[in-house]
Structure 1
């Protein structure tokens, strides 16, 4: 059936004229109510005072270099205050989409740092790729419904991209923030005998150097979204002002092992394929984990949109294959390659030797 065009309409219409139905008004979102007991501003921004005032110091660890450096920095300060028993390390397990061995590495780093409590949280149900498909189904249904309400053909409705993006980072609250708050609930329940809101200091390894958006974040602030009448959560970004060089110096100081993906050339570590990752990281991921890259490419077809705006997973795979053909399978770089780029081989070799002596790990 062909859709009528302007030239198919009669010049004069007869009969009663009916005004088009107005689109249903969107319900305004109610502002989230914050419990009256939750402070608007942190009582202090001094690191040692933050730790002293907290009932729990929760360090979020992705297993990456920033959270590793942050972990060691926070542990050093807590030890000096005699308050290491307050520290809890939490890892949000992302399942098949994160680098192999990340969860185990985060646990090992916590253990070697002297933290006795390591927690793993994980979003229930679907993983990231499954959630993209579910999100696509909902967006498609909504777009088609709105098209029908406008009197348009629903099969021509434009569906917004279902993938996460810098403008729509729904993956972070789904896979990390939400599950971590379930830990806050458990930690709060353990201290109900205090008879007051439990004070949680959440430590996050975000740095200003990573992006202009993160540069705008405060080093210390009240997390009103995670706070309520039973707990008050203060967000602390201990390494917010640190450079890459300072991060690697802290890792060298800690002697803790870091993820080998950095020696392979990665700048970031979380999801193997992160929409915020640089192109070289994505291609590196496709070379190291080709079966996961293929799964992302399949999802692209199902949802009718590229994984990253202007860069499809199919193109990422193509680039990875071209490098494999040109260079052959790459040999694993020497352990310490990434660190040496920032602090030199002399300091890196000291780190390797001390790490081997302390923990019996290969240099």
Structure 2
């Protein structure tokens, strides 16, 4: 089951930071790490709340609670971080700096940033591999994790290994990522490495690892999504937008209204309404009322383990994501 990615000397690290979205790949990376004998007390899950602890705008309401339920199941510490105001605030930014970053720590809430140059957004992130225009990834995820590491003195004490779940199979761009390299936060005084531990895994390997654990997949997969990102991901296919409009019309309406207000569409050629018109909702979307109710609930109410475990409808399906 284990791929051929070179494995670092795990005994050299004091702590292991797993960037944990709650999706299948980060879950597989966590399971792989634990299978290699890394003790739970040395592992930390770091989850980025893209809606910034505010009202749901882009993401799945249940995701932060799902992440905490997984952490509790394994007895692992979990730290949530966010850009204050989330994507909605950054989208509305008008002649103002990008908002500060907040991050949970073992002793409270830390904060960083917020003093940058004034600027104006107004437009949704664009579907591009260029992170300058696909700004949701750096502003709400990559930079947020980096700020949390750079601004905690505990990361100066001993070596840290950051584990992320990008896989080469996902896209041509991700195929060129290094499986192991110094992390962007590493300095002479702060030793941090970055391991993409499942980089050469196939999707089959990912699902096999999750099946063996009997962990319940995120409800998005059960409803038909092939990839866990934001519920209203900018890379969403016509089928995803059609399903979002069917299941969560208010959430869909908020995105459509912001597109109209900005005068620009996310996909440039088509609005989300036009995309939804071209798509057909996932057949499984209305067949699982328990998972559907959980998907929109910010409190986690389902067992973490599920037996008999069943491959979700979204597996090997529509997985529109970064190019």
Aligned to 1:33: none
* Mapping 1:163-312, distance limit 5 Å: 163-166=125-128, 167=130, 168-185=133-150, 188-190=152-154, 192=156, 194=157, 198-223=158-183, 225-312=184-271
Show structure 1 runs of 4+ deviating over 6 A: none
Deviations 1:276-314 (A, max 9, x none): 333322322232222111111111122111122323112
Tell me if structure 2 keeps the 8 A contact 1:123–1:174: yes
User: How far apart are the structure 2 equivalents of 1:297 and 1:169?
Assistant: 18
Normalising by structure 2, report the TM-score. Answer: 0.71
Unpaired runs of 5+ in structure 2? 97-120, 292-304, 310-323
C-alpha distance in 2, partners of 1:256/1:291?
30
For residues 1-363 of structure 1, the aligned pairs below 5 Å read: 46-47=6-7, 49=9, 51-79=10-38, 83-95=39-51, 96=56, 97-115=58-76, 117-124=77-84, 126-134=85-93, 162-166=124-128, 167=130, 168-185=133-150, 188-190=152-154, 192=156, 194=157, 198-223=158-183, 225-319=184-278, 330-332=286-288, 352-353=306-307
Indicate how the Cα distance of structure 1 residues 232 and 270 shifts in structure 2: closer, same or farther if over 3 A, else same: same
Structure with greater proportional strand content: 2
Task: Give the drift of 1:207.
Answer: 0.7
User: Whose Rg is larger?
Assistant: 1
Judge conservation of contact 2:163–2:196 (CA < 8 Å) in 1: yes
Q: 1:228 to 1:114 in 2, by over 3 A?
A: same
1:38 counterpart residue number:
none
Unmatched 5+ residue regions in structure 1? 1-44, 139-158, 336-350, 356-363
Distance 2:288 2:74 in 1: 27
TM-score by length of 1: 0.64
Q: Please say if residues 214 and 307 of structure 2, whose CA atoms lie closer than 8 Å, have aligned partners that are also in contact.
A: no
Q: Distance in 2 between matches of 1:230 and 1:318?
A: 54
Report the secondary structure of 1:47's partner residue. Answer: coil
Bigger proportion of residues as helix? 1
Partner deviation per Cα, 1:220-256 (whole Å, 9 max, x = no partner): 1112x32234312211111111111111100011222
Whole-angstrom CA distance in 1 between matches of 2:196 and 2:87:
26
Q: Per-residue displacement from partner, 1:48-93 (whole Å, max 9, x unpaired)?
A: 51x21122210011111111111111122134xxx43221111111
Of 242-251 and 253-262, more deviation after overlay is shown by 253-262
Shift of 1:268: 1.1
CA drift of 1:121 comes to: 0.6
